[in-house]
Amino acid sequence: MQNLVIMESPTKAATVKNYLGSRYKVMASNGHIRDLPKSTMGIDIDKDFEAHYINIRGKSEIINTLKKEAKAADYVYLATDPDREGEAIAWHLITALEIPEKKVRRVTFNAITKSVVKESIKSPRGIDLNIVDAQQTRRILDRIVGYKLSPYLWKTVKSGLSAGRVQSAATKIIVDKENEIRAFVPKEYWTIEAELTGSGDRRFTARFFGSDNGAKIDLETKEQTEKILADLEGKRFTISDIKKGKKVKNPEPPFTTSTLQQEASRKLNFQSQKTMKVAQELYEGINLGHENGGAHGLITYMRTDSLRIADEAREAAKKFITGNPKLGPDYYPSVPRIYKSKAGAQDAHEAIRPSTEMFEPAKIKKYLTNDQFKLYKLIWDRFISSQMASAVLATTQIDFTAAGYLFRTSGYTVEFPGYMTVYEASTDDTGDREEGAKRLPDAETGEKFDAETIANAQHFTSPPPRFTEASLVKFLEEKGIGRPSTYTTIITIITTRGYVKRDGKSLVPTNLGEVTTRLMSENFPDIVDYRFTASLESQLDAIENGEASMNGVLKEFYGDFDKELTEALSKNEKAEYHLQHEETDIICDKCGAKMIIRNGKYGKFAACPNYPACRNTKPLYEKKKSEPVVAKQDGETMKCEVCGADMVQRTGKFGTFYACSRYPQCKFTKQKQKPLGVKCPKCGADLVTKTGKNRNVFYSCSRYPNCDFSTWDMPTNEKCPVCGGMMVRKKGKNYLYCMNDKCKYKKETEETEE
């Protein structure tokens, strides 16, 4: 009996193939194979929103191959991702490959591990058409909005623009924040801080609080502050009260998609797109070498809003914590931690956690890229800490009185670190997060202190901060806009299409984003209303749960949308939504006007605003000839192999290369070598990618000519299970083979080198 398993990703397929026996052939569809056409809307609104799907261009070869294998198989296991998109891909595969219903087996993997894969294969189900309908409804809604609104934007704002259902709401959120910042009126306030000294060289820094009867006083003017300073002149400070207590800090729950993106942004400076790319790699599988059993999926599915974790994972965390010599039983709580997901969360998947306790980050670091290690460690630390005992802090607050005024200082010490030994969550707070974190000297009520200095400072309240990727994802999640699988896509679309730009970590609306948002708000208020967008998300959830129908949701949406569109198209509003051109400091040398920025075929340039009367243009930026960078290898300056002078890095027709700094007197050059991440089988040095004659790529030892190892076939970190030799891949072939001439071992694989 032969069975076919179809997955989305070739990498994931290669990992799963290691876990299944010879009775299973594992292949990949490389994502969607059918979709709505690009040239037309593909939705027949008059026929109950019937969708016209076609095979995606360029997928014919994959479809034909899979169809042939599906026909020969006894059963076809559709193991696409465990979400709406994955369910829809499985549904499309049945149609495109003409798979008989009796052959279809739907399976999902929450984690790519041997136990999960084998257990899932034993428990197949049918296609869940409710989930498919939820995906189709989202796709059809987005297609209708995009195809109906885009021509309207071309007419009123600028040709080439595109509209989107969720992206329009997200852009408005950022525009509204910018308007809030512009409308903000700073408010003046003052602070007074006293440096106090007492016996035994004890020092305290205390801040003005208010009256000595405990009433808070806000310092709003310089005159008010200076009066207090005058009253305090020459006065001693007395400790009037000391409050001591204990504060228990509980750990954060394991990651969801949203919190992972937020924390990776804060701690690792990863954009959400990068976070999800690296997380996908960790989920699909990393080759951990022959000694660790080859490829393993290292984390559970990374698109989830659930905080649930499996009982076996909780037990594994307990075993790790109590058995770790740096932690122990005291670091595990008396009652295991169970976190409750927020209302409306889809509980189909667990929270994001390590898929197995076997692979501690430090032990497998050498098999991971730098980004993979950072993100895996973040996920590991967060999960382990989420199962640990609370931290206990000893808090102290000391009040000082002088001249009828109250000054206060506070701090804490860590009495028991608990989960903080492993992990502490970060925040978006921009204030002084260390305030109150200082350790205070011992003191007693009634003690007197002298004021070494008393300083006042003027401040102004700050406007609300702009959204960062982390805070925007948090806002989208809180308001129910989008789902874990769409946060990254939303941010990517609004930035790449020019509605929003990045300013450091901040997201700032462009002139295009503001004009488009104003147009949409005035003509299509529902589309940009995040409450309406969130309600549509709830309706999609209802379809998935069998509580609503696809056709009903689409009809209800389209009725109001069509009325708004008809009314908007009847207006002539081109002048009202005119885009303002960004002005430069460049003066037109023909007519004296300040030039503006325009977009052309080759990018931005400066143009005269008096066009067509004046057609003068200039480059926006003058090209500066930069000094060549000194070339270094292993931290040391590279030397010319001909004359001994320093080598420098230059860029030529075929990319970056190294050249002698004495050029043209010495014309020695050397190709820049790209590390492959694989060690030389002869000497253990790094292997590098090189380019030979006719631009053909080959692989060589970085110690050449001291080591002469080279090969045209791509080396891998995988060892031959027969003789221990290096396994290499022939270009374009679907197998690995052993380099040892005396060993004929060969292994099939789905991955091919492009």
Distance of CA 101 to the CA centre of its chain: 38
DSSP code for 329: G
First to last CA, the chain: 33
| Sheet of 583-587, strands arranged across | 583-587, 594-600, 603-607, 617-618
What residue type is 151 in one-letter code?
Answer: P
Catalytic residue among 301, 367, 530, 558: 301
What H or E segment, with its residue span, contains residue 383?
Answer: helix 370-386
**Could you confirm whether 301 is annotated as catalytic?**
yes
CA separation for the pair 13, 470 (Å, rounded): 32
How do strand 3-7 and strand 75-78 relate by DSSP bridges? parallel
On the 0-12 / 13-18 / 19+ scale of CB atoms within 10 A, 49 is buried
82, two tokens = 């465990």
Which of 479, 455, 298 is closest to 375 using CA atoms?
A: 298
Which of 494, 482, 601 is closest to 537 using CA atoms?
A: 482
By the 8 A CB rule, do 460 and 422 touch?
no
CA separation for the pair 676, 282 (Å, rounded): 19
Answer whether the bond into residue 612 is a cis peptide, omega within 30°: yes
Answer whether the bond into residue 705 is a cis peptide, omega within 30°: yes
CA separation for the pair 108, 119 (Å, rounded): 10
Query: How much of the chain is helix, strand and coil, in % rounded to 5?
Result: 35, 25, 40
Which of 102, 84, 138, 103 is closest to 6 using CA atoms?
A: 103
CA distances from 219 to 568, 682, 744 (A): 52, 74, 84
CA separation for the pair 299, 448 (Å, rounded): 58
Q: What ranges in 123-194 are assigned the alpha helix state H?
A: 129-156, 165-183
Q: In the block, which residue shows the tokens 């949203």?
A: 258
| Residues catalogued as catalytic | 301
